[in-house]
A and B are shown apart, each in its own frame.
Chain A
Amino acid sequence: MLEIRQLSFCYPGQSSGWTFGFSVAPGECLAIQGPSGSGKSTLLGLIAGFLAPDRGEILWQGQAIHNLSPWQRPVTSVFQDHNLFEHLDVFTNIGLGLHPGMKLNPEQASAINQGLTRVGLEGFGQRRPGELSGGQRQRVALLRSILRRQLVLLLDEPLTGLDTQTRSTLYRMLTEEKARGVALVLASHDEEDRRVLADRHWNL
């Protein structure tokens, strides 16, 4: 269970901030709703460890994780863009998610190749992100997140601007993650995303 308890944050120089509190069970998808500037991305940044909260707690299975560094948390993220290292090829982009020094064992290398095939990107391993379409890039980013086998998946507008077919593929992948017990936190403006994926909604 991912629990957010009285988590408050205020950007430096701003007079007012946010206070968050909710929980998400494994295998559940919580959709965060709210207009632009309501703090959706800030909340995901806090859970991921990119931002440090002023007060409050983040717990996973009862263990506090808010003092951990981003790489120590059981969390992985997919954003609307900037998910990939532009100067590295697709295989390396995914591989770095499995070992930060790219020392992959055969099982990991095989998992990457199989994953690429599964998401319709067979033979794309040597391509750079700049050579991919938006949908292909998101599939690579999501594949990396899935292969990392983390327990919490944060999704910040991951499907915005994608075509229907790509969205269907990604919906399927995300639904499978839920079925495998991953807790999803989804920030999205899109009603369809929320309708297909979310089990609960939380308004900011």
Chain B
Amino acid sequence: MPSPGKPMTETVSAAVFSHPRWRFWPGMLIALSFLVLVLAGLVSLLQAAGSLDPSNVLGNRYLRGVVTFTVWQALLSVLMSLGLALPIALALARHSRFPGRSALLRLMELSLVLPTIVAVSGIIVVYGRQGWFTSAVSAWLPDHGWNLYGLNGILLAHVFFNAPLAARILLQALESVPEPRLRIAAQLGLQSVWLWRAVQWPALKPVLPGVIALVFTLCFTSFAIIMTLGGGPSATTLEVAIYQSLRFEMDFSQAAILALIQLAICASLWWLAFRCRADTGLLPTSARTPHLQVPGWPGQTLINGALVGLFSAFLLAPLVATTARGLPALFSPEGLAAIQNQLLPATGRSLLIAVPAGLGSVVIALLTLAAARQSEGRWHSGLPVVTGYLPLIIPPLVLGTGLFILLRPSPGTPSEGWVLVSLINSLMAVPFVLQVLRGPFLSVDAHTLRQADQLGILGWHRWRWIFWPLLRRPMALGLAYGITLSMGDFGVIAIFGSPGQPTLPVLLYQQLGSYRVESAAGTALWLLALLLIIFAGLSGLTRPKGVFRTIQRRSPYA
């Protein structure tokens, strides 16, 4: 053995980024920049709003109607989504092993990763006037009076997107019930009401305020669904009204007031949710299959089976429709020409925006987490992470509106607009990427860091040997999130984008708007396939062997 006094260890001063300030300042500067960006956007909104007289809105019947309708459809969407999600989650929690369960969970994830505009095109094929479902119902009930456009379609689409999300989060809560509690419930033979009171409700209660706030915000700030299925002034939401004020009426003052109203409602809701100690992830992160069965009531298995079957069909139908319509459309002579003339250029533009947005969101999330850890215990410790979650409270369209007003008459060129879209998309993805990275990042615990400190594993070496092996996979997943959320964006791009140089979602919207249903189906399938390839390629790296990770959700701003 070597003797002391003749050091075998190397000096560590050469490690790049060794100083602790590198763990703190980049994340803190990003947080501060984001705050400044948000404040600049809000100030420009306030300035544009002029005297900021809410009576202008309250006295305006149309705008009053818009606010009322926005809240109303969001409330109904929450009720319906949770009304469906709860029994589905309970059924899936009870039946932890049945053929197709994991496929259903995947399907639920798939519906979450779908860009809104793609799913809407599928929903139109199924539930539209000539849709599969509508035609089938018409054969039995000729006077059903169903019309997809309007509140019906909005609610249907919102439930399609949010019921699986809510069900996955509720299922995760149910699956996190401690095994001993399940054992006691099984031993006591608790059923129905008592099982609910003793086991299920205590597990669901902490996550419900967060789920409600999340679903409400997503429905409240819904844009693409309202644009495509809204059906005119009687079914318009604040987001669409803001968009119309900016793009068509050029009424910045009205856009500013509407944006501020939207911000006030979203912020109040999240404030309330946090007051209720909202304890929920934005994403279901992992599935643990419980092994213990508790007794059920007679016929429960049958009813649960029917429920799960119908729910699967509900999720599957628009996807099947998109594929069935899209394949012939893509491989027809016109379709092949469209690939070359429209889809490839639009894909290029989409990737040009989405890849930097995805990379940006991962880098921002990592630096945010590092800054939060480095400032732990100090007064500013919460700043980076709180700022990281700001996009949930400040809808992207509101931020976009503020920046639009701030920067006018620029951004003049499409490329300037794309840079802004990419930046906003990247910020908007940060809460979700943060959610993916936070657990693995925090798994590098105090013991590990203490060891690393003593061994002088600092700066670049610390990243290479401590963080990178643990974060490599989650980072790939976060990148997949960032890219897919941005690829599916049809909110911010609508403000800053140029109709003459559309991204894939914008192209799809244009095709839907001009009733080119076949072309739209082809574009939807193209976009869907592209997202799946990107996602499968990146998330394949993230899935540890034998562990089923649930992932993805739809864009919060599409």
Listed in ascending order, the chain A residues whose CB lies under 8 Å from chain B are 26, 48-50, 69-72, 75-77, 79, 82-85, 87-88, 92, 96-103, 107-108, 111, 115, 118, 146-151, 176-177, 180-182
How far apart sit A83 and B466, CA to CA, in the bound complex (Å)? 14
B2 within 8 A of A: yes
Report how far A49 CA is from B448 CA in the complex, Å.
Answer: 15
Contact residues in A for B466 (Cβ distance below 8 Å): 85
Q: Are A147 and B465 in contact (CB under 8 A)?
A: no
- Once the chains are docked, how many angstroms separate the CA of A113 from the CA of B4? 19
Contacts from B to A (Cβ < 8 Å): 1-10, 12, 15, 447-448, 450-458, 460-462, 464-466, 469-470
Residues of A within 8 A of B469 (CB): 87-88
Closest CB in chain A relative to B351 CB, distance in Å: 33
CA distance A72 to B452 in the complex (A): 12
Q: Are A71 and B456 touching (Cβ within 8 A)? A: yes
Question: Cα distance A146–B464 when bound, in Å?
Answer: 24
The reply to whether A149 and B453 form a contact with Cβ atoms under 8 Å apart is no
Interface residue from A77, A96, A108 paired with B457 (Cβ < 8 Å): A96
Q: Given contacts A87-B469, A88-B465, A102-B465, are A70 and B8 in contact (CB under 8 A)? A: no
Our pick among A50, A111, A181 for the contact of B4 (Cβ within 8 Å) is A181
| Complex interface: chain B residues within 8 A of A102 (CB) | 465
Residues of A within 8 A of B15 (CB): 100-101
Which residues of chain A have C-beta atoms less than 8 A from B457's C-beta?
96, 100
Contact: B5 with A148, CB < 8 Å?
no
**Contacts A71-B453, A148-B9; is A180 near B465 (CB within 8 Å)?**
no
A181, B5: Cβ atoms closer than 8 Å: yes
Considering the chains assembled together, what is the distance between the CA atoms of A204 and B393 in angstroms? 53
* B461 neighbours in A (Cβ, 8 Å): 100-101
Residue on B with the closest CB to A26?
A: B4
Structural contact, B8 and A108, CB atoms closer than 8 A: yes
A180 touches B1 (CB 8 A): yes
Write out the residue numbers on chain A whose beta carbons fall within 8 Å of the beta carbon of B460: 101
> Are A71's CB and B451's CB within 8 A?
no
Do A180 and B4 touch (CB < 8 A)?
A: yes
Contacts of A182 in B (CB 8 A): 4
Name the residue of chain A whose CB is nearest to the CB of B470.
A87
For B7, the chain A residues whose CB sits under 8 A away are: 149-150
Q: Which residues of A contact B1 (CB under 8 A)?
A: 115, 118, 146-147, 176-177, 180
Instruction: Choose among A79, A102, A147, A149 the residue with the greatest number of B CB atoms under 10 Å from its CB.
Output: A149
A97 to B10, CA, bound (A): 9
Give the one of A96, A107, A180 with max B CB within 10 A: A96
Contact A149-B5, Cβ < 8 Å, known A88-B465, A100-B10? yes
- Complex Cα distance, B457 from A82, in Å, reads 16
Contact B10 A70 (CB under 8 A): no
Known: A101-B461, A101-B464, A180-B1. A82 touches B8 (CB 8 A): no
Q: Which residues of B contact A150 (CB under 8 A)?
A: 4, 7, 9
Can you name 4 extra interface pairs (CB under 8 A) apart from A50-B453, A149-B8? A50-B454, A88-B469, A151-B5, A182-B4
Q: Shortest beta-carbon distance, B546 to chain A, in Å?
A: 15
B422 to chain A, nearest CB (A): 33
B454 touches A71 (CB 8 A): yes
| Assembly CA distance A92 to B452 (angstroms) | 13
B9 and A92: CB pair below 8 A? no
Closest to B453 in A: A70
CB-defined contacts of B455 to chain A, threshold 8 Å:
71, 96-97, 100, 148
- Give complex CA distance A96, B470 in Å: 16
Whether B464 contacts A149 by the Cβ 8 Å rule is: no
How many whole Å from B445's CB to the nearest CB in chain A? 8
**Chain A CB within 10 Å — which of B4, B7, B12, B460 has the most?**
B4
Question: Is B451 a contact partner of A85 (Cβ separation < 8 A)?
Answer: yes
C-alpha gap A97/B8 in the complex (Å): 9
Q: Smallest Cβ distance from A142 to chain B, in angstroms?
A: 11
Are B10 and A71 within 8 A (Cβ)? no
State whether A149 touches B465 (Cβ < 8 A).
Answer: no
Chain A neighbourhood of B447, CB < 8 A: 79, 82
With a cutoff of 8 Å between Cβ atoms, the chain A residues found around residue B3 in the complex are 149, 180-181
A77 to B451, CA, bound (A): 9
Query: How far apart sit A90 and B58, CA to CA, in the bound complex (Å)?
Result: 69
- The interface residues of chain A lying within 8 Å CB-to-CB of B458 are 71, 100
Contact B9 A98 (CB under 8 A): yes
Q: Is the Cβ of A147 less than 8 Å from the Cβ of B12?
A: no
- Considering only CB atoms, which chain B residue lies closest to A87 in the complex? B469
Q: Are A82 and B9 in contact (CB under 8 A)?
A: no
In whole angstroms, what is the CA distance A68 to B418 when docked? 49
In the bound complex, CA of A92 to CA of B468 (Å)? 14
Taking the closest CB of chain A, its distance from the CB of B357, in whole angstroms, is 29
